[in-house]
Chains A and B, each alone.
Chain A
């Protein structure tokens, strides 16, 4: 008799726990559905800033026709200042895009790559290496990356404030990303603020001691993830290091070269190849050596483009189809804007 009573008690206990579990699950399910609905309402429906798109330039790739971009440049403000897809088009018929955000975290880069690969099948991913040396403490780096992981994983967190700027029209319209970047993601700044000499004179170390020549494990973690994504998709990953006065230092470049060897990713160290690139730091920088201007971008792009063409099988897409015409038109517009400056 007792055994049976105990068993009943146990069954009741398990039942109550099960019920409790179901209730808790139910709570989070309903909450999740509500939040998901809000997310659908507030998620940007058009990919420009006015409609809430986070970093419109980097996300202009959504509007590009599918599978038409063979190279993608990623990184932070160094990337969007140093690479010029339209120059690459004009010189090599190479279609590319610059998907970069100023002061970007690695998490954001990984997310952008994943998004990019939803509609594109690039052959090469170029990662500009300034992000590797971003001057943050481990705590700040963790915060930044954690924040971006949360915001990209749970978009309502990123777009929650859109309650202020949206109404029923935005809430119920479908997503239509057709805003194009006229410069394919490059930041066109045709201004020259010269550095003190033609050649960049780099110090031994730059910034705080604890940052010097050290690549943070969090950064390494993300570089690995990006590398994996590329490998899974049959994409070649290369690193390109554009010199700059902010994080450029002998120690950093040494560490970078070592790291690239370690993880077996080809590194194009423009510091080393300075002569071939032909940068003149009295003319090619827009802010005294921190970022390049359109002139510098042209030089870097031609150099990098040639290397990519040599080592990877990138098609020359110049021809008589609509794609080629569109790119030609974009290049002509670009030329109108910067032509005079580049002479």
Chain B
């Protein structure tokens, strides 16, 4: 069915595009707003009220913050220097209260709708040793579409206006558009107001170059999703859904396939959405930058789901690190620890907050908290052991910057990430432990040789296609790393380059897509947020 949901989406996008082009340039953004509303209503009429509430809250908060800032600017002109500081403190306090309440409202909606079940579960678990035992019914509410994305996007806007980065949006409808631009609704990327708004209101029209670039990106995303991701998903799901039945070898393959599935699914969908946005002259921020070329896990998270990482950096990590409590912590550390530890402990603490948040953002379950902690620990260990590595490689006269060294690092990162994905996929941490145990109890490659591998939903021909798909991604990735924008070059290239590539992509999706009677349905993984 998923193949057709993409078809519907593209039809919707095309219909919106036609109406958009008919409208005069200055009014085109209203078409985008209306299409976002229609898109949302298609999904779920009742839950739209939450998005509306978030838009209202965000809009008024922005206006209040900007007007407070302006009042401060006018008032401070008339004051002597020492009074200015007092005034500033007063206004900062005012602004802080406004921000806090707004964030509480917006974040609160997300927390209640998404995390109530989790909180009550944790509370019950916490109280149990104290004799409090009650059957906690898992409370779960239907989630408004994209709530995890638009909530962060709105909080970003609120904090930016607090910081005075830009003035608040004066037009409610325009702000509503900022939070409901339909290509972003299901899977992000999480956008920034100053980057997004000018593009949304520019009302760019048709240009054959932009249209081709958009089409190429959309087809590339469809290719990743239907040819690679969906194909890999069958074997991965078969094994993960019933892992006790399968040998460590098969589980290891499933973990790798799942990682492939997740990457091509998420980045493929983002490509389709970015291509769609491009039709309207909107370039969404980059969300993936060849993540599997990363040499460290830190780097991985700067190349994977980039908009989430930068959001946590700008709105959690930096504010926490530059906050007063944090400063106090740093002072205590500098006094009582060696220089080395004094530089690590404070940063690591801020990082811990980021990773608990990132983990939890992915889901309302203890498993996701562990997911975040997993990466945090890896990074922490990396930070702590870095001097040791430097010493070691100096002693052994090894070149840390050599191709082999970097290659090993990339390999190590991929392995660590695959394990992280396995944790992300399983139902619980205990399942993760069991799976790791099975993988390390590795016995033999029998199941690969005897054909069991090809009987789990993905046959040998599928594996070949997946392999070829990965090869294609690798080549395109290498070119992109070398700053060669392959897709862009193809889109603007000559007809004998453009046409074959476009046709090849279309034919690949139609012929090699994993859809139809022979294939089952596959869910979009990142659309449940």
Any A–B CB pair closer than 8 Å = yes
Chain B 495-514: CB-based contact to A (< 8 A → 1; otherwise 0) = 10001001100110011110
Contact across chains for A157 and B516 when beta carbons are under 8 A apart: yes
Look across to chain A and name the residue whose beta carbon is closest to the beta carbon of B518. A161
Q: A35-B507, A38-B507, A160-B510 are in contact. Are A20 and B208 (CB under 8 A)?
A: yes
Contact across chains for B511 and A27 when beta carbons are under 8 A apart: no
Which residues, 475 to 529 on B, are CB-close (under 8 Å) to A? 495, 499, 502-503, 506-507, 510-513, 516-519
Which residues, 1 to 33 on B, are CB-close (under 8 Å) to A? 1, 4, 7
Tell me how far the C-beta of B182 lies from the nearest C-beta in chain A, rounded to whole angstroms. Answer: 19
Q: Does A175 interact with chain B (Cβ within 8 Å)?
A: no
Contact across chains for B516 and A161 when beta carbons are under 8 A apart: yes
Q: How far is the CA of A157 from the CA of B502 in the complex (A)?
A: 18
Chain A 228-269: CB-based contact to B (< 8 A → 1; otherwise 0) = 000000000000000000000000000000000000000000
Q: Does B461 interact with chain A (Cβ within 8 Å)?
A: yes
Q: Does A1 interact with chain B (Cβ within 8 Å)?
A: no
Q: How far is the CA of A82 from the CA of B506 in the complex (A)?
A: 44
Contact across chains for B516 and A160 when beta carbons are under 8 A apart: yes
Contact across chains for A157 and B518 when beta carbons are under 8 A apart: no
Which residues of chain B are near A196, meaning CB under 8 Å? Answer: none
Chain A 1-34: CB-based contact to B (< 8 A → 1; otherwise 0) = 0000000000000000000100100010011001
- From A30, A158, A164, give the contact of B499 (CB < 8 A): A30
Which residues of chain A are near B503, meaning CB under 8 Å? Answer: 27, 30-31, 34
Contact across chains for B1 and A143 when beta carbons are under 8 A apart: yes
Q: A20-B208, A160-B511, A163-B511 are in contact. Are A143 and B516 (CB under 8 A)?
A: no
Q: How far is the CA of A147 from the CA of B507 in the complex (A)?
A: 19
Q: Does A146 interact with chain B (Cβ within 8 Å)?
A: yes
Q: A158-B516, A163-B511 are in contact. Are A147 and B506 (CB under 8 A)?
A: no
Tell me how far the C-beta of B509 lies from the nearest C-beta in chain A, rounded to whole angstroms. Answer: 10
Tell me how far the C-beta of B80 lies from the nearest C-beta in chain A, rounded to whole angstroms. Answer: 66
Which residues, 343 to 398 on B, are CB-close (under 8 Å) to A? none
- From A143, A147, A157, A164, give the contact of B510 (CB < 8 A): A157
Which residues of chain A are near B502, meaning CB under 8 Å? Answer: 27
Contact across chains for A160 and B506 when beta carbons are under 8 A apart: no
Contact across chains for A160 and B513 when beta carbons are under 8 A apart: yes
Contact across chains for B4 and A35 when beta carbons are under 8 A apart: no
Tell me how far the C-beta of B252 lies from the nearest C-beta in chain A, rounded to whole angstroms. Answer: 26
Q: Does A88 interact with chain B (Cβ within 8 Å)?
A: no
Tell me how far the C-beta of B43 lies from the nearest C-beta in chain A, rounded to whole angstroms. Answer: 11
Look across to chain A and name the residue whose beta carbon is closest to the beta carbon of B514. A161
Which residues of chain B are near A211, meaning CB under 8 Å? Answer: none
Contact across chains for A38 and B511 when beta carbons are under 8 A apart: yes
Which residues of chain B are near A38, meaning CB under 8 Å? Answer: 507, 511
Which residues of chain B are near A72, meaning CB under 8 Å? Answer: none
Most chain B CB within 10 A, of A30, A146, A163, A164, is at A164
Look across to chain B and name the residue whose beta carbon is closest to the beta carbon of A158. B516
Which residues of chain A are near B519, meaning CB under 8 Å? Answer: 161
Q: Does A156 interact with chain B (Cβ within 8 Å)?
A: yes
Which residues of chain A are near B511, meaning CB under 8 Å? Answer: 38, 156, 160, 163
Look across to chain A and name the residue whose beta carbon is closest to the beta carbon of B460. A164
Which residues of chain A are near B506, meaning CB under 8 Å? Answer: 31
Tell me how far the C-beta of A23 lies from the nearest C-beta in chain B, rounded to whole angstroms. Answer: 8
Which residues of chain A are near B208, meaning CB under 8 Å? Answer: 20
Contact across chains for B499 and A27 when beta carbons are under 8 A apart: yes
- From A30, A54, A146, A163, give the contact of B517 (CB < 8 A): A54
Which residues of chain B are near A157, meaning CB under 8 Å? Answer: 510, 516
Which residues of chain B are near A23, meaning CB under 8 Å? Answer: 495
Q: How far is the CA of A269 from the CA of B208 in the complex (A)?
A: 60
Tell me how far the C-beta of A274 lies from the nearest C-beta in chain B, rounded to whole angstroms. Answer: 37
Most chain A CB within 10 A, of B1, B208, B461, B511, is at B511
Which residues of chain A are near B518, meaning CB under 8 Å? Answer: 161
Look across to chain A and name the residue whose beta carbon is closest to the beta carbon of B506. A31
Which residues of chain B are near A163, meaning CB under 8 Å? Answer: 511-512
Tell me how far the C-beta of B466 lies from the nearest C-beta in chain A, rounded to whole angstroms. Answer: 14
Which residues of chain B are near A147, meaning CB under 8 Å? Answer: 1, 4
Chain A 139-159: CB-based contact to B (< 8 A → 1; otherwise 0) = 000010011001100001110
Q: How far is the CA of A331 from the CA of B322 in the complex (A)?
A: 88
Q: How far is the CA of A157 from the CA of B7 in the complex (A)?
A: 13
Look across to chain A and name the residue whose beta carbon is closest to the beta carbon of B507. A34
Tell me how far the C-beta of B2 lies from the nearest C-beta in chain A, rounded to whole angstroms. Answer: 11
Tell me how far the C-beta of A230 lies from the nearest C-beta in chain B, rounded to whole angstroms. Answer: 28
Contact across chains for B510 and A156 when beta carbons are under 8 A apart: yes
Q: How far is the CA of A143 from the CA of B515 in the complex (A)?
A: 14
Which residues, 304 to 336 on B, are CB-close (under 8 Å) to A? none
Which residues of chain A are near B7, meaning CB under 8 Å? Answer: 150
Q: How far is the CA of A160 from the CA of B508 in the complex (A)?
A: 10
Look across to chain B and name the residue whose beta carbon is closest to the beta carbon of A161. B518
Which residues of chain A are near B517, meaning CB under 8 Å? Answer: 54, 158, 161
Tell me how far the C-beta of B281 lies from the nearest C-beta in chain A, rounded to whole angstroms. Answer: 19
Q: How far is the CA of A303 from the CA of B511 in the complex (A)?
A: 47
Q: How far is the CA of A188 from the CA of B495 in the complex (A)?
A: 58
Which residues of chain B are near A160, meaning CB under 8 Å? Answer: 510-513, 516
Q: How far is the CA of A147 from the CA of B510 in the complex (A)?
A: 14
Which residues of chain B are near A164, meaning CB under 8 Å? Answer: 459, 461
Look across to chain A and name the residue whose beta carbon is closest to the beta carbon of B42. A139
Look across to chain B and name the residue whose beta carbon is closest to the beta carbon of A164. B461
Which residues of chain A are near B516, meaning CB under 8 Å? Answer: 151, 157-158, 160-161
Known pairs A143-B4, A150-B4, A157-B510 / 13 extra A-B pairs, C-beta < 8 Å: A27-B503, A35-B507, A143-B1, A147-B4, A150-B7, A158-B516, A160-B510, A161-B516, A161-B517, A161-B518, A161-B519, A163-B511, A164-B459
25 contacts between A and B (CB under 8 A): A27-B499, A30-B503, A31-B506, A31-B507, A34-B507, A35-B507, A35-B510, A38-B507, A38-B511, A54-B517, A143-B1, A146-B4, A150-B4, A156-B510, A156-B511, A157-B510, A157-B516, A158-B517, A160-B510, A160-B513, A161-B517, A161-B518, A163-B512, A164-B459, A164-B461
- Interface of B toward A, CB cutoff 8 Å: 1, 4, 7, 208, 459, 461, 495, 499, 502-503, 506-507, 510-513, 516-519
State the 3 A-B residue pairs at the shortest beta-carbon distance, nearest first. A161-B518, A160-B511, A164-B461
